Structure 1
Amino acid sequence: MAFADNLRTLPSVAQISAIELLDDAGQVAATIPNLPGKAGSLAVYAALVAKHGSINVAAAEEGLSLFAEHTDDARKNPGNHPNIDRLLEVIKSGKGYQAKVIAG
């Protein structure tokens, strides 16, 4: 399925203002806000955290599938899709993130 089709299968993120990804030291490594252009990534990450409890290797692999055609573009153009690049790095390194969902 295409990314847009996958998004329609995910829960709404209307009640979420952002997700913070925390490194091993508990520091915020990244924030995905609920803003135009980022809401799709937020929906994917929120669904992954709800299912897996964190962004671990299994979550990252599922996330790449959900990002569909954007995953191929991210592989060809590193840096263009930082939220996908992060999932690729989780798979490569085996190091994931705890996540803090911020309501809003």
Structure 2
Amino acid sequence: MSFAENLKKLPKISHVAALNLLNAAGEQVACIENKAGSQGSLTIYNHLLQTYGLINGEAAQKGLELFAEQVEDERAHPGKHPNIARLLSIVDGAPALRGKHVFAL
């Protein structure tokens, strides 16, 4: 399935303003905001955190499957999709990340 088709099957994110990604020390290493250009990433990361509780190797691999054709675009143009690059690094052994939701008011 394509990235767009996968997004349609995942939980909605209208109630999420942002998702802060935290390292093992609890420090924020990234923030995915609910805005144009990052809503697909927010949807996938939200789903991964709901399903796995953290972004570890297994969750990252599933995330890459959900990003579908976007993964090849990141591989062809490193840095174009930082949220995909983050999952690739976790699959390659980078430490797992936890998430903290910022809910919309």
Tell me, yes or no, whether TM beats 0.5.
Answer: yes
State the Cα distance separating 1:94 from its structure 2 match: 4.3
The question of 1:36 aligning with 2:15 is answered no
TM-score by length of 1: 0.97
The residue aligned with 1:52 is 52
State the Cα distance separating 1:81 from its structure 2 match: 0.3
Q: Which amino acid aligns with 1:46?
A: N
Cα deviation per residue 1:35-67 (whole Å; 9 max; x = unaligned)?
A: 011000000000000000011111100000000
The residue aligned with 1:21 is 21
The residue aligned with 1:2 is 2
| CA RMSD across the alignment | 0.7
Cα deviation per residue 1:57-85 (whole Å; 9 max; x = unaligned)?
A: 11100000000000111112110000000
Give structure 1 stretches of 5+ with no counterpart: none
Distance in 2 (CA, whole Å) between partners of 1:88 and 1:96 is 12
TM-score by length of 2: 0.96
- Structure 1 consecutive aligned stretches of length 4 or more whose deviation exceeds 3 Å: none
Q: Which amino acid aligns with 1:83?
A: N
SS of the aligned residue for 1:29 comes to strand
SS of the aligned residue for 1:93 comes to coil
State the Cα distance separating 1:102 from its structure 2 match: 1.2
